[in-house]
Amino acid sequence: MDVLIAMAAFVLSHVVIARTRLKPALIARFGEPAYLAAYSALSLALLAWVIWAVLTADRLPLWTTPAWSYGFAAIVSLVAFVLIGIGMVVPNPLSVSFRKAGFDPDRSGVIGWVRHPLLWGLTLWAVSHIPANGDWPSLVLFAGAATFGLVGIFAVERRVKRQLGLEEWTRLTAGRGNVDRRAIAGAAVGVFLWLVFLVIHPTLFGADPLAVLRAQFG
């Protein structure tokens, strides 16, 4: 029950802020940088609550963990972290992002292709963990996060299209260009974060993916 309550609080916090006038009111009152900092802190706190609830809940096995799931988790989560890193660094007016100013529609690069790197990264992170965590409540966390990410991608795209108008949306997404230095820097940030989480994973979550991979392929 604690897992469901925590997950509901996480989802509702995003829905209430995104679907009401609370977001523009907060931005108008405190400014966008302060809003983004507070929103990120709230999201991380609620996500930490969800993870803590999962780690302390009773386990109900649902399937036997397949051997390939650990390699799958490592590879797909690497892609996820690269996308998250790009989403953190590269300006993006088309989706959830830390920066919107400085986007060049003629050289949109990765943003022109992916459009929602942060949301896709978080979705892939969740998907990567599903096969290796065959129990309730882990399924609530990872399947719920993947579903939330996918729904969020379509909801954000629909909302931003409506806000920008079709003509402006088309202009911002028409150019592709090459991957620029900011995207490369973002990808490097993502790889670094992926390595850090591999190292601290046993401390945070009690499972050591590196030890499992070494046992399988070492």
Task: List the chain pLDDT tens, one digit each, 218 residues.
Answer: 688 899 888 888 887 877 778 888 888 888 877 887 888 888 889 888 998 998 889 989 999 999 899 999 999 999 999 999 999 999 999 888 888 888 888 778 888 888 999 999 999 999 999 999 999 999 999 999 999 999 999 989 998 999 889 888 888 887 666 777 888 999 999 999 999 999 999 988 888 888 877 877 76
Helices 22-30 and 32-56, axial angle in degrees (round to 10):
130
Query: Which DSSP letter does residue 115 get?
Result: S
| Cα–Cα distance for residue pair 136/113, rounded to 1 Å | 35
Give which of 130, 149, 150 is closest to 140, Cα–Cα.
130
**Phi/psi at 74 (nearest 5 deg)?**
-65, -45
Cβ 211 vs Cβ 150: under 8 Å: no
Question: Domain segments of the chain: what residues?
Answer: 1-57, 61-217
**What's the distance, Cα to Cα, between the start and end of the chain in Å?**
40
Cβ 201 vs Cβ 125: under 8 Å: no
* pTM for the model: 0.87
